[in-house]
Chain A
């Protein structure tokens, strides 16, 4: 079975500080993509960052970066220089190459950026 675990239901961070959101997953497959999606209070889910499992280099997108540990099946998201607009629910997800491309999501981490 494929599972995604986000063990931090809620987190907060001071504006301009750095925060790390945790995610672990379980799959017996070897080829997959990993994602972090953000859902602001307006509810539109948007992609933050993605990582191909076959790439060892960690993905970065401006202030967002990941720490991908394939052996440990860990995929954490680091947000640097946190901004008020980063306040949102963050979902970790992965997608298998070979099984119809179904996505598996975690239960989310609610992040609040404090002014």
Chain B
């Protein structure tokens, strides 16, 4: 099976712009979670989607949003980008009842 894929791998934006990141889970996995990773902060949980519904949400402002499509692919959107949004954004998938998350390679976002 192919692993979790994320596009794009690298992205440079300027403050005030918006960005959309994409994640394709492992085939058959219906749960997709998003994390923000910054040095010293570890992985901060953004949200989890399961069967097109948001199941969990972390403590991030409303500028961060997501959605999941019927094929389980997920997108994450960040509006009105701030310098502090520069980070590695990781996506992870798992099956509906699975306990192990499988991570993608991440999207490195740089906000200038």
Give B111 Cβ to nearest chain A Cβ, in Å.
19
B45 and A102 contact, CB distance less than 8 A: yes
Give A38 Cβ to nearest chain B Cβ, in Å.
10
Let me know if B48 is at the binding interface, CB within 8 A.
yes
B99 and A105 contact, CB distance less than 8 A: no
A43 and B56 contact, CB distance less than 8 A: no
B90 and A45 contact, CB distance less than 8 A: yes
A50 and B48 contact, CB distance less than 8 A: no
Let me know if A100 is at the binding interface, CB within 8 A.
yes
Give B66 Cβ to nearest chain A Cβ, in Å.
15
Let me know if B40 is at the binding interface, CB within 8 A.
yes
Given contacts A43-B106, A47-B100, A95-B99, contact A108 B88 (CB under 8 A): no
Let me know if A104 is at the binding interface, CB within 8 A.
yes
What class of interface size applies to chain B in its complex with A?
20 to 34
Which chain A positions have C-beta within 8 A of B90? Answer: 45
Give B54 Cβ to nearest chain A Cβ, in Å.
10
Q: A59-99 vs B: 1/0 string, CB under 8 Å? A: 00000000000000000000000000000000101010000
Which chain B positions have C-beta within 8 A of A101? Answer: 31, 48, 55-56, 99
A100–B56 Cα gap in the complex (Å)?
Answer: 7
Give A89 Cβ to nearest chain B Cβ, in Å.
9
- Known A-B contacts: A93-B43, A105-B35, A107-B40. Give 14 more (CB < 8 A): A35-B100, A37-B103, A43-B105, A44-B105, A45-B90, A45-B103, A47-B101, A95-B99, A100-B55, A101-B31, A101-B55, A103-B92, A105-B45, A108-B42
What is the interface of chain B, defined by CB distance below 8 A to chain A? 31, 33, 35, 40-43, 45, 48, 55-56, 88, 90, 92, 99-106
